[in-house]
């Protein structure tokens, strides 16, 4: 093919550039963050749903909550253990996890997740 | 050479579609939250109605001072950004105005002096046949089971078609972030963000826990609230005994806010 | 075929660079709007739609105007138009691209725009507007591209295009009808609540679209080797003449209904536009200007002598475009919102950032048009020498 040298050179540059994040950060992975529980959260032992589920699916649960509260007017959440909660991000979740900066933000910042929930929902209902 | 390159691309395209099918199907299949053992329900204290309605006894609200606590109650608990100075960007859920602005189709040239001077409360009428709900392309504004015209701020794309559709000028748009303009934040209720439309919600969050709307509570009996289709409700009693008017009723939107004049 | 658009002289590339500059500036201003909110525009609680939607409405008309070339050629075998259907279709594409961009920049939460598709709402006219506009864009892209490519290769276009072409004709009418339906079904806006709004929109579209097409044809004849043809331009001019007459006639019908019935709901909006209301009259000179411009346009296009003279015809097209833009853009939107449902008067004037973003969108449309027309003209020159 014509320009074989230019093509191969360009291809090499492209591959190097596109894989840059991988080889540049090799061996330098930042450790997963530690999150802190408040005293209230520790005392409760488990969240509204089992911990493993919450770790993986809290956003899906929040989607279920917001759909049911806003669109169906249903505010009561009863989990498999029969415990009753009010479906509210600021008034239930942040009631126990009032230390957003040491709890929610730790993992979110690490994973570069920027939920826009806090544009509207109060993130310090206890004034912390 | 040409043919086989075309063939290669065709096969590649079909394979990509095939490989892409599984994750897409997985995403749609993941609707099995109910298998996790939880369920949701209305709260026990929740108040229900076929159509919530309001009767405003304007004979009891003669001056701006009478209206102040009513308007302030709503503004406070709903984090209304009252400090916005630019009138173009103001947010108002319930406010006051003169008779000929409130009832544009019922004005007289020679109005009695009292009514001429009197301020009137305006708010969303939670129409039974709401044109704003008809207009909304995403159902971000919708009529709930209790007849309240609700806003889903998560879904609103800010197209403002509902604002054009409302014949009563009841809706406000967040032209900027409202938070710096909220005088005192009520931490139990969210604020809104820029780019969404908002309006009175008949305090749906209070009705859900057995409380009357804030404006009704603050009105000292001037505002009555109840189920329009419950013959024994306070609003029906008032409607039976008093002559009432509504705003622009000829448009057929069937407003649920009545005014005793 | 796109390779035809990257070969040009210094004027061509200079023009493209200027457009890219305006697009860049508009985009920068849009980033400011994304950060701050729509408050940087002149829109208000009372006039909640402004310059963006005004230009959107106007450009849907321009896009629909392309059907005035397609219909005579494909339905009635008016062979002369065969030369320029591609120009009409490509103009429609550029116009629709601008329409979609104007909607996007007008949204308060543009990142949620796909909610319109995720939550289909058959009772909302906006839902149908999204469908017909994108459908029309798709139709014109597929039809225009394939017909042009077939012309370049000296063959007849594929037979499966024929049904698409036939569909595109009522579809063009539908895009502007649906856009008019956004306005004319709203019970609280008496200025818009008229059955004649959709016909008026179409009449205005069939004047503005072909008028712009005439100007573009004259430009192409002047600066390239492709001559769209004198006969084609003359037939377009006759279309413009009829359409602008009908547009003004429909408007005068509105004036009659309002002022003979004397119903305030109808008269106040026209009064605001043409003589001012409660001391507010920012649009008065514009509306009278628009009427005068359209009247001049009527005279110049209806009179055979001035229509046949291509210089006076060009002037006619310019004044018609200006007149219809003011009428449908500024007049329609402000007229509908002012006075507000409480009969208060709050005027609307676009701000500089708003105009800057608008110019950025127009530049984007101009760039799309430039590239597509360069391609089309390139093919014509290749085939016809």
pLDDT at B25 (0 to 100): 76
Q: How far is B201 from chain A (nearest CA, A)?
A: 11
The answer on pLDDT for B146 being more than 60 is: yes
- The answer to whether the bond into C191 is cis (omega within 30° of 0) is no
What is the average per-residue pLDDT within A105-124?
93
Give the residue on B whose Cα is nearest the Cα of A53.
Answer: B36
pLDDT at B33 (0 to 100): 52
Compute the count of residue pairs across chains A and B with CB atoms less than 8 Å apart.
Answer: 74
Do the chains contact at C108 and B159, CB–CB below 8 Å? Answer: yes
DSSP line for B112-129: -HHHHH--EEEE----SS
pLDDT at C130 (0 to 100): 96
**The pTM is what?**
0.93
Torsion sign, CA atoms B89, B94, B99, B102? positive
Model confidence at B83, pLDDT cuts 50, 70, 90, reads: very high
Do the chains contact at C44 and B135, CB–CB below 8 Å? Answer: no
What is the C-alpha to C-alpha distance for residues A57 and C343, in angstroms, rounded to an integer? Answer: 51
What is the C-alpha to C-alpha distance for residues C341 and C352, in angstroms, rounded to an integer? Answer: 28
Do the chains contact at B208 and A75, CB–CB below 8 Å? Answer: yes
The answer on pLDDT for A96 being more than 70 is: yes
Chain segment A55-76, per-residue pLDDT in tens: 999 999 999 999 999 999 999 9
- Residue B156 is encoded by which pair of tokens? 């609103």
DSSP designation for C277: B
What is the average per-residue pLDDT within B126-135?
97
Do the chains contact at C38 and B175, CB–CB below 8 Å? Answer: yes
Model confidence at B27, pLDDT cuts 50, 70, 90, reads: low
All residues of chain C having their beta carbon less than 8 Å from the beta carbon of residue B195 are 37-38, 107-109
Q: How far is C38 from chain B (nearest CA, A)?
A: 5
Which regions of chain C are under pLDDT 50? Answer: none
Interface mutation vs chain C, best among B137, B154, B160, most C CBs within 10 Å: B137
Model confidence at B30, pLDDT cuts 50, 70, 90, reads: low
Give the residue on B whose Cα is nearest the Cα of A86.
Answer: B43
The answer on pLDDT for B2 being more than 70 is: no
Alpha-carbon distances of A94 from A43, A48, A76, C204, C353, rounded to whole Å: 15, 12, 17, 57, 40
The answer on pLDDT for B108 being more than 90 is: no
Interface mutation vs chain A, best among B38, B52, B155, most A CBs within 10 Å: B38
Q: How far is A28 from chain B (nearest CA, A)?
A: 31
Which residues make beta-bridge pairs with A86? A76
What is the C-alpha to C-alpha distance for residues C162 and C170, in angstroms, rounded to an integer? Answer: 14
All residues of chain C having their beta carbon less than 8 Å from the beta carbon of residue B87 are 44-45, 346
pLDDT at B34 (0 to 100): 56
Q: What is the ipTM, given to two decimal places?
A: 0.94
Torsion sign, CA atoms C102, C103, C106, C111? negative
All residues of chain B having their beta carbon less than 8 Å from the beta carbon of residue C278 are none
pLDDT at A30 (0 to 100): 81
Q: Are B188 and B78 in contact (CB under 8 A)?
A: no
Model confidence at B23, pLDDT cuts 50, 70, 90, reads: confident
Give the residue on A whose Cα is nearest the Cα of B39.
Answer: A78
Do the chains contact at B40 and A68, CB–CB below 8 Å? Answer: yes
Do the chains contact at B36 and A80, CB–CB below 8 Å? Answer: yes
Q: Are C348 and C42 in contact (CB under 8 A)?
A: yes
Give the residue on B whose Cα is nearest the Cα of C106.
Answer: B159
The answer on pLDDT for A45 being more than 70 is: yes
Q: How far is B70 from chain C (nearest CA, A)?
A: 21
Model confidence at B29, pLDDT cuts 50, 70, 90, reads: low
- At B53, give phi and psi (nearest 5°): -145, 165
Model confidence at B21, pLDDT cuts 50, 70, 90, reads: confident
Which residues make beta-bridge pairs with B57? B260
């Amino acid at each position: 093919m014509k320009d074989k040298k230019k093509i191969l050179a360009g291809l090499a540059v492209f591959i190097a550039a596109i894989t840059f994040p991988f080889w540049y950060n090799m061996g330098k992975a930042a450790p997963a963050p530690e999150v802190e529980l408040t005293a209230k959260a520790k005392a409760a032992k488990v969240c509204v749903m089992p911990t493993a589920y919450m770790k993986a699916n809290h956003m899906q649960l929040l989607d279920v909550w917001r759909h049911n509260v806003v669109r169906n007017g249903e505010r009561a959440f009863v989990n498999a253990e029969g415990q009753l909660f009010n479906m509210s991000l600021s008034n239930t979740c942040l009631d126990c996890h009032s230390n957003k900066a040491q709890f929610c933000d730790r993992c979110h910042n690490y994973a570069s997740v920027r939920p826009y929930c806090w544009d509207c929902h109060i993130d310090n209902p206890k004034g912390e | 050479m040409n043919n086989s390159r075309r063939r290669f691309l065709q096969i590649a395209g079909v394979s990509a579609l095939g490989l892409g099918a599984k994750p897409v199907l997985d995403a749609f299949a993941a609707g099995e939250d109910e298998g996790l053992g939880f369920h949701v329900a209305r709260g026990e204290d929740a108040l229900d109605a076929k159509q919530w309605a309001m009767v405003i006894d304007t004979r009891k609200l003669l001056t701006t001072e009478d209206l102040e606590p009513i308007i302030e109650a709503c503004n406070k608990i709903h984090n209304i950004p009252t400090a916005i100075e630019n009138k173009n960007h103001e947010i108002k859920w319930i406010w006051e105005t003169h008779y000929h602005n409130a009832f544009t189709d019922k004005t007289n040239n020679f109005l009695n002096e009292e009514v001429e001077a009197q301020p009137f409360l305006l708010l969303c009428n939670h129409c039974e046949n709401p044109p704003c709900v008809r207009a909304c392309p995403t159902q971000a504004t919708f009529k709930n089971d209790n007849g309240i015209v609700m806003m889903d701020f998560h879904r609103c794309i800010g197209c403002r078609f509902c604002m054009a559709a409302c014949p009563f000028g009841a809706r406000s748009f967040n032209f900027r972030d409202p938070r710096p303009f909220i005088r005192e934040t009520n931490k139990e209720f969210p604020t809104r963000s820029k780019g969404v439309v908002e309006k009175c919600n008949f305090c749906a969050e209070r009705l859900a826990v057995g409380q009357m709307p804030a404006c009704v509570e603050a009105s000292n009996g001037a505002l009555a609230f109840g189920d329009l289709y419950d013959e024994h409700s306070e609003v029906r009693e008032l409607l039976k005994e008093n002559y009432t008017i509504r705003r622009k009723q000829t448009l057929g939107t069937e407003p649920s806010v009545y005014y005793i004049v | 075929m796109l390779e035809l658009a990257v070969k040009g002289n210094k004027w061509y590339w200079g023009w493209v660079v200027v457009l890219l500059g305006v697009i860049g500036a508009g985009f920068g201003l849009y980033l400011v709007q994304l950060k701050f909110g729509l408050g940087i525009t002149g829109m208000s609680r009372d006039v909640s739609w402004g310059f963006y939607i005004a230009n959107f409405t106007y450009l849907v008309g321009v896009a629909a105007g392309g059907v005035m070339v397609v219909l005579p050629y494909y339905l009635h075998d008016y062979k002369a138009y065969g030369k320029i259907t591609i120009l009409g279709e490509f103009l429609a594409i550029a116009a629709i691209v601008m329409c979609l961009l104007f909607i996007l920049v007008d949204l308060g939460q543009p990142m949620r725009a796909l909610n319109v598709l995720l939550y289909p709402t058959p009772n909302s006219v906006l839902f149908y507007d999204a469908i017909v506009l994108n459908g029309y864009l798709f139709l014109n892209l597929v039809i225009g591209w394939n017909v042009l490519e077939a012309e370049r290769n000296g063959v007849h276009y594929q037979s499966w295009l024929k049904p698409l072409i036939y569909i595109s004709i009522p579809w063009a009418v539908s895009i502007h009808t649906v856009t008019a339906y956004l306005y004319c079904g709203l019970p609280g806006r008496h200025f818009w609540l008229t059955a004649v709004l959709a016909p008026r929109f179409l009449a205005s579209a069939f004047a503005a679209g072909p008028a712009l097409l005439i100007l573009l044809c004259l430009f192409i004849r002047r600066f390239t080797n492709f001559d769209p043809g004198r006969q084609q331009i003359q037939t377009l001019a006759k279309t413009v003449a009829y359409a602008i007459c009908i547009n003004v006639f429909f408007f005068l019908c509105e004036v009659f209904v309002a002022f003979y019935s004397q119903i305030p709901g109808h008269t106040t909006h026209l009064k605001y536009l043409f003589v001012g209301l409660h001391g507010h009259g920012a649009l008065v000179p514009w509306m009278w200007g628009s009427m005068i411009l359209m009247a001049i346009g009527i005279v110049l296009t209806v009179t055979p002598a001035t229509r046949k003279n291509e210089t006076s015809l060009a002037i006619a097209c310019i004044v018609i475009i200006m007149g219809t833009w003011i009428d449908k853009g500024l007049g329609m939107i402000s007229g509908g919102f002012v006075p507000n449902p409480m009969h208060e008067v709050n005027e609307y004037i676009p701000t500089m950032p708003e105009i800057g973003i608008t110019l950025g969108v127009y530049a984007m449309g101009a760039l799309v048009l430039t590239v597509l027309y360069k391609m089309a003209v390139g093919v014509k020159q290749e085939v016809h020498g």
